[in-house]
A and B are shown apart, each in its own frame.
Chain A
């Protein structure tokens, strides 16, 4: 049974529109013009317990609004929504104990005090007794490689240490559903990798369900076998990341280093010639044809070196967001 169900989920905001200049300001004062902005439009999906799902979309696509709806921070305008057996916006105690929301650019830790103080507060708020809280803190600190840092004021911690402490605070009550909004935002490459490792480890150990948004594709490729793609508030892909890659780029890029320059016409029978640069050539070859083509290439041409590349997923998804839709695969 799904732990997250969204069906026809909608959220619109009423915002005041103002024209620039003095006349616009006066009009704004006297007769305000309102616009309904549809941030989320008919979004439907289900997530099974223990799944790790990536939620992707450009800026303003509706990712964060959807996470706020799922976590119960805001009320939906329409649709059906159920998380951990509860309607999120009712924020019942059993729902709040089952979920957590981590926002990479926001913090819940008390700025001037060590993280341990915030952790004490969270333990008390969730009714975790002292010895159990100490045990959980030790376990999470071990997983996140935090030690002395927990006794230093939050303001003295590095961004990476702070995010790790934020994760500790968010996970102390052992939520079953994690909503993570850009948890690696602004972290250096090493810190990003450590947070990713931790999340994978946490998911394996606890079986928690994770819905993750990130602008770093490395987070998604490392953690999420399944992705949801959203554009202008509407979901337009829900499926495996590998399937998406195949649908977006059903070809491989083959780079050839030849003994001598070869004209494009001689290369055309093997695949689409993407680029020629002296004795180097780049070909796009259909995924299924790669082994056969490579055999023929090696037999027919003076190949010194060759390299088969998968197109970077960042590039593919970036292109997809500009496009805003996913073409249906040929029948």
Chain B
């Protein structure tokens, strides 16, 4: 009973945080629409891949279209800007009141990201509709179980990305300019996540190496699931293996974040406050 009440209390708290953050994000809907539109890298890559297809890739034109559309959708719902926000809050002294409330400050950022994702949803739907209008041959939807697995994978991908970026955000406790360090993550995210090419287009050695990092699970794995097309053996993914790897990365990153956070807070000087 107590445990149920505890869970319900937390759920209620998160719902309030989410709804207030949603109201906040709605104030910036035009900016969020522009951010959604700016995430068109997968479509640029699609155009490149369709103009010069790689023989033996195992993906025909419509499949490529569905993969990059899915990559776009995954990207929209896994974008994380916690480093930038945390840096701002630390420098401006807004972190201090958060630290003095009985709620881990990172939960506020989780709610803000989820609210922003909800604000993006209509724009993403519009872009999906436009895409299928322009590429009717690619029109296909995943089966409901596959869609469900895809959505779950997107959620886990967001969790991994959030944990990765929060680790960097924690470095604000030592160096106030953690956004510079975030750029270190940008290159592997761009090239190993499947944003510029599906994993089956990677040289086998590089694909194997990539799968030992969290990056392909940020885009490629959920995108393959959402596309509804069969998971290619060459890509190195299996449904179970993919979810296990995601769970493993979360299990590694979560305690690491907890350790770094505790060490950082101990060092916090509340200089901006």
Contact = CB atoms under 8 A, between A and B. Distances in A.
Interface of A: 13, 68, 71-75, 89, 91, 93, 96-97, 99-101, 103, 106, 108, 110, 112-113, 117-118, 120-127
Given A101-B97, A103-B96, 12 more contacts: A13-B269, A68-B96, A73-B270, A93-B102, A101-B96, A106-B93, A108-B94, A108-B98, A112-B28, A117-B20, A117-B23, A122-B101
Contacts of B266: 75, 89
B28 to A, nearest CB: 8
A103 B20 CA distance: 23
Interface in B5-60: 9, 12-13, 16-17, 20, 23-24, 27-28
A68 B9 CA distance: 30
Interface in B66-118: 93-94, 96-103
Nearest 6 Cβ contacts at the A-B interface: A124-B16, A108-B97, A124-B13, A96-B102, A93-B102, A73-B270
Of A72, A74, A97, most B-chain CB atoms within 10 Å: A74
B268 interface: yes
Contacts of A113: 20, 23-24, 27
Q: Is the interface of A mostly helix, strand, loop or mixed?
A: mixed
A110 B20 contact: yes
Given A106-B97, A127-B9, A68 B273 contact: yes
Contacts of A73: 96, 99-100, 268, 270, 273
Nearest to B25: A112
B269 A106 contact: no
9 contacts: A74-B270, A97-B102, A99-B100, A108-B98, A110-B20, A112-B27, A113-B20, A125-B102, A126-B101
B107 to A, nearest CB: 9
Interface string B255-273: 0000000000010111001
Contact of A72 (B93, B97, B100, B269): B100
B102 A101 contact: no
Interface size class of B (residues with CB under 8 A): 20 to 34
A110 B103 CA distance: 17
A89 B16 CA distance: 28
Contacts of B16: 120-121, 123-124
A17 B112 CA distance: 38
A234 to B, nearest CB: 20
A122 B108 CA distance: 12
Contacts of A74: 268-270
A296 B269 CA distance: 61
Contacts of A91: 99-100
Interface string B100-142: 1111000000000000000000000000000000000000000
Contacts of A68: 96, 270, 273
Nearest to A39: B269
Contact of A101 (B20, B94, B100, B269): B100
Nearest to B270: A73
Nearest to A111: B24
